[in-house]
């Protein structure tokens, strides 16, 4: 467990009413960054695109899906930003949810604060955890902060005009100025607000790597003072764990899966990447595995577009190697269209046959300690086969618990043998419930893109 003690210097502005002057006082505040909450040890995460989830696109309409998601096996509900959306420089007719107009309000198109609080309460009663998407690097140009004349809370050009984040095409948002202590304090106050008022369980922080490390240390420590929250950073950088985040995006692994499926990388690249990643991150650091999310789906293509016939195999991989698996809205319904980002484009949930596949993988995650998150689980170990150019086989073992996975990542049926494998035992195929005796059975045949997942 990583425990980092650091000294926070907090500048507190005290208003002196009699002479209307401000006095800055400095306090030393020693805190300890907390490990991930215990409830996250075998958890998965589900991204909710609220606007597109139902024809109504509302909080109340989404609530009807909670029983289905519970049956699926979902643990953490991550809601994309639910705030009002800026109108200045808006993209499309509805705008991006990431152009936040008011950090302490609910988008009236989605519903009310009371409705959101009721949703969180109901989700908690059903055993879910709820985290909110948070955009700390930038806001809408017409955010209430700007309209309240806090112009120095933003990065300005030579003409004193707000600017969008450098080296991006995010022209609908204005970059915030983290050299301004008042802005930092207001941002922390807004983060605390949702935990206090709505009892949420943490945050997914957008482009977290673009925000200063010391801000995150300060903010996360204050969040933990009121609740042991779960923090996810949308970035693939180890320093974010030192800043207090429990989980970071597995962008690199995502790209490796894409490239192996597309024939741009050999199967062995999976092994080398996982070893390199393990050297960069600490054992307790959670990594988030995904084959799709709102960005990938909209801008880079569907699972079928990017992974083709290897979509299921890559999902099996992401659910069973080290890391917490993500499911995006509609993925369990075989989502095979790019969902619009700036317009209404409802996800089709009419065919939920694919849910069986994901439910089995989520059940596997819940019940098998070997594939739990961080130090709760065990590292994956490659199993040699007679055809390692096409077959990626591995096991994860913790105590008496074992999970063995075999993937055919070639475009043809493959017959192969496990070579020099001494961990043989009787196991169960999680998709068919058939018994497989690995002590005596070493030869297997998998169709193109096929997979075998065994548990004991």
Q: Tokens 């907390």: give the residue.
A: 34
Tally of domains in the chain: 2
> Per-residue DSSP letters for 282-323?
-TT-EEEE-S--HHIIIII--HHHHHGGGHHHHHHHHHHSSS
The answer to whether residue 156 is domain-embedded is yes
Q: Which residues of the chain have pLDDT under 50?
A: 1, 3-30
Q: What is the pLDDT of residues 45-85, one digit of tens each?
A: 999 999 999 999 999 999 999 999 999 999 999 999 999 99
pTM reported for the whole predicted model = 0.93
Task: Residue 128: give its domain's CATH number.
Answer: 3.20.20.80
The answer to whether residue 19 is domain-embedded is no
Identify whether residues 349 and 408 lie together within a single domain: no
Residue 284, pLDDT score? 97
Backbone angles phi, psi at 14, to 5 degrees: -110, 120
Taking a C-beta distance cutoff of 8 angstroms, is the pair 407, 434 a contact? no
Task: Supply the range of the domain harboring residue 315.
Answer: 35-376
Identify whether residues 149 and 269 lie together within a single domain: yes
Task: Residue 393: give its domain's CATH number.
Answer: 2.60.40.1180
Residue 321, pLDDT score? 98
The answer to whether residue 60 is domain-embedded is yes
Residue 420, pLDDT score? 85
Identify whether residues 371 and 396 lie together within a single domain: no
Where does residue 67 rank: exposed (0-12), middle (13-18), buried (19+ CB within 10 A)?
exposed
> Per-residue DSSP letters for 52-70?
HHSSS-SHHHHHTTHHHHH
> Per-residue DSSP letters for 181-228?
HHHHHHHHHHHHHHHHHH---EEEETTGGGS-HHHHHHHHHHHHHH--
Identify whether residues 302 and 400 lie together within a single domain: no
Identify whether residues 311 and 425 lie together within a single domain: no
Identify whether residues 352 and 397 lie together within a single domain: no
Domain boundary among 350, 376, 402: 376
* Pairing between β-strand 247-249 and β-strand 230-233 as defined by DSSP bridges: parallel
Identify whether residues 160 and 46 lie together within a single domain: yes
Residue 44, pLDDT score? 99
Residue 423, pLDDT score? 83
Domain boundary among 339, 359, 376: 376
Identify whether residues 371 and 387 lie together within a single domain: no
Identify whether residues 435 and 323 lie together within a single domain: no
Domain boundary among 347, 376, 405: 376
Identify whether residues 221 and 346 lie together within a single domain: yes
d(CA 137, CA 173): 9
The answer to whether residue 5 is domain-embedded is no
């Amino acid at each position: 467990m990583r425990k980092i003690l650091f000294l926070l210097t907090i500048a507190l502005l005290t208003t002196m009413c009699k002479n209307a002057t401000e006095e800055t006082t400095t306090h030393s505040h020693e805190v300890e960054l907390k490990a991930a909450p215990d409830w996250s040890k075998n958890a998965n995460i589900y991204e909710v695109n609220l606007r597109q989830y139902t024809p109504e696109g509302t909080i109340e309409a989404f609530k009807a899906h909670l029983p289905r998601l519970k049956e699926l096996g979902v643990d953490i509900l991550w809601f994309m930003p639910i705030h009002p959306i800026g109108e200045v420089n808006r993209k499309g007719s509805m705008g991006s949810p990431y152009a936040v107009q008011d950090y302490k309000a609910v988008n009236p198109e989605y519903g009310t604060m009371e409705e959101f609080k009721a949703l969180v309460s109901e989700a908690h009663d059903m055993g879910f955890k709820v985290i909110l998407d948070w955009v700390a690097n930038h806001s809408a140009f017409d955010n209430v902060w700007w309209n309240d004349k806090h112009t120095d809370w933003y990065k300005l050009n030579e003409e004193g005009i707000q600017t969008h984040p450098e080296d991006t095409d995010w022209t609908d948002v204005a970059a915030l100025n983290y050299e301004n202590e008042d802005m930092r304090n207001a941002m922390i106050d807004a983060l605390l607000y949702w935990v206090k008022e709505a009892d949420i369980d943490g945050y997914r922080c957008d482009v977290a790597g673009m925000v200063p490390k010391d801000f995150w240390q300060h903010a996360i420590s204050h969040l933990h003072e009121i609740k042991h929250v779960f923090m996810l950073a949308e970035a693939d950088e180890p320093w974010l764990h030192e800043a207090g985040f429990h989980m970071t995006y597995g962008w690199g692994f995502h790209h490796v899966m894409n490239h192996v499926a597309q024939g741009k990388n050999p199967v062995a690249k999976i092994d080398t990447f996982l070893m390199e990643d393990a050297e960069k991150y600490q054992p307790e650091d959670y990594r988030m595995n995904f084959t799709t999310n709102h960005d990938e789906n909209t801008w880079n293509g569907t699972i079928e577009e990017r992974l083709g016939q290897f979509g299921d195999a890559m999902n099996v991989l992401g659910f069973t190697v080290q890391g917490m698996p993500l499911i995006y809205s509609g993925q369990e319904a075989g989502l095979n269209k790019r969902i619009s980002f700036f317009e209404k484009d409802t996800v089709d949930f009419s065919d939920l046959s694919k849910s069986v596949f994901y439910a089995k993988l989520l059940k596997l995650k819940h019940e098998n300690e070997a594939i739990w998150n961080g130090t709760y689980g065990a590292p994956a170990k490659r199993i040699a086969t007679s055809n390692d150019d096409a077959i990626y086989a591995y096991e994860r073992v913790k105590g008496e618990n074992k999970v063995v996975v075999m993937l055919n990542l070639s475009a043809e049926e493959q017959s192969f043998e496990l070579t020099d494998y001494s961990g043989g035992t009787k196991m169960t195929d999680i998709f068919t419930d058939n018994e497989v005796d690995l002590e005596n059975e070493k030869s297997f045949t998998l169709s193109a893109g096929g997979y075998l997942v065994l548990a004991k």
